Structure 1
């Protein structure tokens, strides 16, 4: 049987007259799109245009909720009561559902963004609260989780449809968390390195950490960040390396972990 894996990218992160990333080019390469919901990035017009383009390209659409942090691009940590955080997640997924429907598509998955995602990868209670909120408004939604972290454990405890994600352009700590962006080498900009590294992780079924350790995990989808300058070249090289290894790109199914 041919091995398959999904390739996703964060996009829809432009805002008003400000353009972020090359979504049109990425949508010709990836199989899933995580669309910003207007809180850490994006706006109603950008959401509409991004989702129309995703539908036209046959790309699966996901909601990408984050903290209300346009200035910090959702990468500044915030402490919020869990009940308020749940409403924040519901609000953004609801907006994404409406815009996807208007574009002739639907929201297949939810993926937490930035600081919210990092906090949920460390704190299972917080991750569970976010995922319960998502499921309360979209019971069939697939939870895209950072593989090997508290996000995955939360999804597993909920018995929800899940897609386990690794990153093409981020370095890993030995506990499967992402190396802090403030550290050198945390973000990978070399397409060749990203492609070879991801292909190796998919072959071995494990996250390869910065120290060279391996964390065995299920890998359903591979992410890259659409806001980096090399995003399109990284996406193309990851796709090329996977195909060279006999791995085909296809939408994830979202089986429970």
Structure 2
């Protein structure tokens, strides 16, 4: 066993001691977690990069930080939080104040120039760390795109988890528990910002499904980003994990974003 000597102070540290001092990081991938995620994870976890806060779409001083947990309470009478994040041990923690704050967190590289029509599956998991969901708008999926319809060259395509219904959203949305939202499923609600929404009749007041959105934007191309957003409305404290795009799940862990292949 080797040793390391600090010349200035004469400190001697054994390699064994260094090993003990180094945190052991593991990634759980148990059958129960895979079952909770609703997809069978295939072997292989590959680090992913270029995920982070999208500064040009962020206002105020919100927070989006990769973290461990949070753990949910699946039973109303249980004191201990035992439900793990749907993948691994971590997630993307989000804190946004009410009124003027908003945040966007995602990837500005991977999906640029890809046709909107190429996105077949789009899911994610949400944890609302609040006492009640009354009056709370949950984080959404936002796609920045060139609609190639009408005169606009830019629009944001926004999923509305609060007004979506089963099978797109949980039949009973609950706080302090991990729940999955399938933005690509029937009864999902989407709208397009700017003049595009009116052109294709998919507005915030009259949203359409993801299938209808793609039918109305057959030549749309993802232009700038795909990620998670929380808008300027009410305060939110919670987390997001397991963003699935087609057969790739982006597993948000406290020390980075990892990809998992799913069927």
TM-score, normalising length: structure 1: 0.26
**Structure with the bigger percentage of strand:** 2
TM-score, normalising length: structure 2: 0.26
With a CA cutoff of 8 Å and minimum separation of 6, indicate the structure with the bigger relative contact order.
2
